[in-house]
Amino acid sequence: MIVGIDLGTTNSLIAYMDGNEVKVIPNKLGENLTPSVVSVDDDGVVYVGKTAQERGLLHPNQTASVFKRSMGTNRLFTLGEHTFTAEELSSFVLKSLKEDAETYLKQPVREAVISVPAYFNDAQRRATKKAGELAGFVVERIVSEPTAAAIAYGLNLKHADTKFLVFDLGGGTFDVSILELFENIMEVRAVAGDNFLGGEDFTDVLEQMFYNEKGIDRDSLDEKTKARIHKQAELCKLGFADAKTSVMKCKIDEELYEYEISQEAYERACQILLAKIKRPIERSLKDANVKLADIEEIVLVGGATKLSVVRKFVSRLFSRLPNTSINPDEVVVVGAATQAAMKERNEAVREMILTDVCPFTLGTEVAVSRFGGVKESGHYLPMIERNSVIPVSHTERLYTADDNQSMIRVKILQGESRHARENVFLGDIEVPVPIGPAGKEAVDVTYTYDVNSILEVMVTVLSTKVKKRIVIKNEETDMTDEEIDERLQSLAALKIHPREQEENKLLLLRGDRLYEEATGDVRRLLEQQLADFEAVLDKQNREEITEARASLKTFLDGIEKDML
């Protein structure tokens, strides 16, 4: 028996294929949704789900939630006297689901297909697989949440050729995917998203509105009071489902605070979050080379899409009503269970070929020649561009950069920045080469990325035929988005160069943004233009800088116009 699991930020579900239909397995409380919350008492007893959620209101220091956002990082969660990683906390949730399934099915359940956000990077996907294994599952397949939703949706389509957009807003993450179904092939055209945007953030907006309205300093409150207020904010948010106003009632130091808020005021306060949703949508459409008019259906996925503020926003943005024919809470687990049935070769399931994409660009660090033949290191060479259909393999020939070089080090990086140092370091390979003049020795570097998000890198020395290979497994080398941001800020704070003049800085930032949004030849043009401008800044000649700045601005204006 292979089951499908939706391991969510807020809630998790497990399901299986029964005959020709998918059934969601209820938990020990008889409910389909199990809150992704873990709590540990003084005796070391672990609670999962609604019990842990309730316990968290009394013992917030012994309870953890929203830990999915920290998957694949080194962050530790302290619950009383115990310390856990996000993978370990997730394994408790998965183990609870496993026990529910075995009780319900009255048989052992050993293998699972687990869903992850499409925008999860390699470390986060490996961490999810590890969590499953810690829970006692064999996890041979990880499926992206929008792909799982597309499977569930696509099986019900009456016509074969359809382009659709999956809008997946869960409790803690946001994904948008462009997919196309033709005959029995489900092709993912592009993915984009934000791993730090979800329903929890919409709750936080109400919470902050309450603090502001009542003049309360959040930092002055104890953890228990803050947990109660957060719960009331969540209930207030859900209250907008069938009313134009909702009320928060909270007791603080025996004093009752009541706050009534209109849906209109709440929607105004959510504008920053809604604006953050638009950018991944625009990026995915551009990467897929698809116009909004070509999209036939908008499919809503994730519990947060049930919020009226989100549904109104989606309807206005796309000028149409989204498809809600399948329960947004359950559509991912239905797809994961269907994928599991396909893996079992279940005859009741229409066989469907799935193609997925690489969510992030994978590349390496190289040195390039600049003015006067000066070599400049630290540049990023994309090997596999984001949204490349997988499995995919690509080879580049690289040469020694210095005279008498005896070793070539290939750094394996992941990210969208043109600066190698600002991308995520995944690992490296060092190969010996015969000593000689710069450019004499060469290596072929091959990146191969498969459907299970496994990256293999092969380096071959042309002259000696020496080969070295690495499969990326190291989970500790990945950095969180916050760590990357902190690093960039600390580096920026050290710069006291003329390039920090406001106009120059703004232009460089704009160029970097366009580089991250672009792919292929446009990226290479941007890299050259930005590098040339940085070289002019290094000369510190005001007249040359002014002229170069005007030229670069004109160039970027043209690029941005073409990208619209």
Neighbours of 499 (CB within 10 A): 17
Same topology, domains 199-271 and 358-479? Answer is no
pLDDT given for residue 431 in this prediction = 95
Domain 358-479 CATH superfamily: Substrate Binding Domain Of DNAk; Chain A, domain 1 (2.60.34.10)
Domain 199-271 CATH superfamily: ATPase, substrate binding domain, subdomain 4 (3.90.640.10)
Residue 483 has pLDDT above 70, yes or no: no
Interatomic CA distance for residues 349 and 17, integer angstroms: 9
pLDDT given for residue 343 in this prediction = 81
Q: Which residues are catalytic?
A: 6, 68, 145, 168
Return the structure tokens found at 256: 């009752």
pLDDT given for residue 350 in this prediction = 59
pLDDT given for residue 109 in this prediction = 96
pLDDT in tens, 202-250: 999 999 999 999 999 999 999 888 988 998 999 999 999 888 999 998 8
Full-model pTM: 0.72
For 155-285, where are the E strands, in sequence order?
A: 162-169, 174-182, 185-194, 245-252, 255-262
Question: Helices 520-539 and 542-563 meet at what angle, rounded to 10?
Answer: 170
Mean pLDDT of 120-146: 87
Peptide bond into 391 cis (omega under 30): yes
Query: What's the per-residue H, E or C state across 371-424?
Result: HHHCEEEEEEEEEECCCCEECEEEEEEEECCCCCCCEEEEEEEECCCCEHHHCE
Confidence of residue 7 (pLDDT cuts 50, 70, 90): very high
pLDDT given for residue 475 in this prediction = 42
pLDDT given for residue 13 in this prediction = 97
pLDDT in tens, 56-110: 888 899 999 999 999 988 899 999 888 899 999 999 999 999 999 999 999 999 9
Q: What is the mean pLDDT of the chain?
A: 86
Question: In 247-358, which ranges are continuous DSSP H helix?
Answer: 263-269, 271-288, 308-318, 331-343
Interatomic CA distance for residues 81 and 296, integer angstroms: 53
Q: Point out which residues pair with 363 in neighbouring strands.
A: 382, 413
Mean pLDDT of 548-556: 92
Which three-class secondary structure state does DSSP give residue 75? coil
pLDDT in tens, 351-397: 667 778 888 899 999 998 876 667 888 999 999 999 888 888 999 99
488 vs 278 pLDDT, higher one: 278
Residue 508 has pLDDT above 90, yes or no: no
Query: φ, ψ for residue 414 (rounded to 5)?
Result: -140, 125
pLDDT given for residue 125 in this prediction = 87
Residue 159 has pLDDT above 60, yes or no: no
Confidence of residue 126 (pLDDT cuts 50, 70, 90): confident
**Domain 2-197+272-357 sits in CATH 3.20.20.80:** no
Backbone conformation region of residue 297, classed left if phi is above 0, alpha if psi is from -120 to 50, else beta: beta
Mean pLDDT of 433-449: 93
Residue 460 has pLDDT above 50, yes or no: yes
pLDDT given for residue 488 in this prediction = 36
Largest Cα separation within the chain, whole Å, is 80
Q: Where are the domains of the chain?
A: 2-197+272-357, 199-271, 358-479, 495-564
